[in-house]
Amino acid sequence: MKMRFCLLVWLFLAIALPHAEADFYRYVDEHGNVLYTDDLSKVPVEQRDKARSYEDSQSPAPPAVKEPKTDESQNDTSRAVGGSFENERQSIQAREKALNDEYNSLMKERNALDQEKQDAVTPDQIKAYNQKIVEFNARIQAYEEKRAVYADQVAAFNDKLKSGQQESPQNP
């Protein structure tokens, strides 16, 4: 009897946990629009296997590391190359901070929309809420595109950094 109960609890957890970790789902409708929802049952059945789930994580942005400024009057070529890498790195870090701030703003907006969903009872309120969701979905899609461009920039920078380190001699 105890074994059956444990098996039943384990089965319940195995079924419930994968669904409990996703906060919202992304899918493409029949018109090619990217949509987001927090309820998997709202995703069309034919799209459920393609729907991507996202977690709502509120991890803080990593602190920016400040490097000491170098004397730019020196004509050492290795410092010049390192300086351009440093400028690019700082630019990438600034972009990451902006993206993290935008993400946190979107999550706050999402929480506000969740509250508004509960308060929307009249047809006009529901229509206004649905319009806000459409606009929110467009902002999420734009954010994802910015994040993809950022990831490409980081990969290109890392490749450039690796090739630059391979070409320059190692200093003790």
Do 63 and 129 reside in the same domain of the chain? Answer: yes
What does the pLDDT look like over 28-69, one tens digit per residue? 777 777 787 777 778 788 877 777 666 554 444 545 544 444
Do 167 and 109 reside in the same domain of the chain? Answer: yes
Do 27 and 62 reside in the same domain of the chain? Answer: no
Do 50 and 118 reside in the same domain of the chain? Answer: no
Do 8 and 64 reside in the same domain of the chain? Answer: no
What's the pLDDT at 152? 92
Do 2 and 20 reside in the same domain of the chain? Answer: yes
Give the range of the structural domain holding residue 1, as residue numbers without chain letter: 1-55
Do 162 and 141 reside in the same domain of the chain? Answer: yes
Mean pLDDT of 143-168: 84
Do 168 and 116 reside in the same domain of the chain? Answer: yes
- Give CA 26 to chain center in angstroms: 12
Mean pLDDT of 133-152: 92
What's the pLDDT at 17? 52
